Amino acid sequence: MILFKTVRPLQNKLEKLRSNKQKIGFVPTMGALHAGHVSLVTEAKKHCDMVVCSIFVNPTQFNDEKDFEKYPVTIENDIFLLETNKTGILFLPSVNEIYPEGTEQLQHFELGYLENIFEGKYRPGHFQGVCNVVHRLLNIINPDILFLGRKDYQQYLVVKKMLQDFHPSTGIMAVDTAREANGLAMSSRNMRLSEDARIKATAIYQSLQYIKQHIAEGDIEWLKEKAKEKIWQGGFDKIDYVEICDAETLLPVSTIKTGKKIIVLAAAFIEDVRLIDNILL
């Protein structure tokens, strides 16, 4: 694996690869890597000749400064994990490298209603920060395909829209959520949970499974309330949302229609750590 910390040497390397007709896949991360990130790299290797992974804790997508300060940093382990899984290139830039003109005057992206629902509602400015950093990374790397995890489903849809507007030649692939044996969605934030909370946190996945198992027989609003009950009973401190939506638009549905892709999403806090999860029906 080759490690780059600055833009120009990385671009020189990528230009040589392109001149040899090599297909480039890109996996952007914020570090604190786990098996879910490895699954993105593995999928990218199936479709591309060279996989570039970036590690950059992006300050502009945190609406809560304390959340930014608490974000786990495990760079030595991250490098070992990427090397072990034969990642081709690691890009490890500084804030100045990504935001040479600072983080005050950021580009504004027109994201429509997607910016203001669910994650956008509870984390104001989050998706503008996501789009700014992904846009800048794509300008640097110019990959053929971008690989994102399905766990952050709304983020996937937001970035997909941004690609259509600014990077139409870059493809995008969503990779299925990696889970612990008990069903808990793998997340860097899980590192902040106690062992007891990691066990209790499975309630969020179990609540989504309950909806999946009863979707054909229950009223939508009733199902959402039953799911929330399960999350509360699991030991969560706060629920931001449990919603049943059209998977294409992320708009809530009131009835289930044959042929429509449905996604169930939830966000809740346990031990002051905010977890999100979703499942496609």
Determine the pLDDT at residue 107.
96
Percent of the chain clearing pLDDT 70 (strictly above) = 100
Task: Report, as an integer, the average pLDDT of 23-51.
Answer: 98
Percent of the chain clearing pLDDT 90 (strictly above) = 94
Determine the pLDDT at residue 63.
87
Q: Predicted confidence band at 237 (pLDDT cuts at 50, 70, 90)?
A: very high
Determine the pLDDT at residue 259.
82
Determine the pLDDT at residue 64.
87
Task: Report, as an integer, the average pLDDT of 69-76.
Answer: 94
Q: Which residues are catalytic?
A: 37
Q: What is the pLDDT of residues 87-114, one digit of tens each?
A: 999 999 999 999 999 999 999 999 999 9
Determine the pLDDT at residue 135.
98
Q: From CA 26, how far away is CA 48, in angstroms rounded? A: 9
Residues listed for the chain: 281
Predicted TM-score of the model (pTM): 0.96
Q: What is the pLDDT of residues 169-228, one digit of tens each?
A: 999 999 999 999 999 999 999 999 999 999 999 999 999 999 999 998 879 999 999 999
C-alpha separations of 37 from 178, 179, 204, 268 in Å: 9, 11, 21, 22
Task: Report, as an integer, the average pLDDT of 105-129.
Answer: 97
Determine the pLDDT at residue 224.
97
Determine the pLDDT at residue 257.
81
Q: From CA 224, how far away is CA 61, in angstroms rounded? A: 29
Are the C-beta atoms of 32 and 74 separated by less than 8 Å? yes
Determine the pLDDT at residue 260.
87
**Distance between the two ends of the chain, CA-based, in angstroms?**
38
Determine the pLDDT at residue 36.
97
Q: From CA 276, how far away is CA 256, in angstroms rounded? A: 23
Catalogue all structural domains in the chain, each as residue range(s) with its CATH number.
2-175 (3.40.50.620), 188-276 (3.30.1300.10)
Q: Per-residue pLDDT for 229 more than 90?
A: yes
Determine the pLDDT at residue 37.
98
Are the C-beta atoms of 151 and 275 separated by less than 8 Å? no
Determine the pLDDT at residue 66.
86
Q: Is 16 helix (H, G, I), strand (E, B) or coil?
A: helix
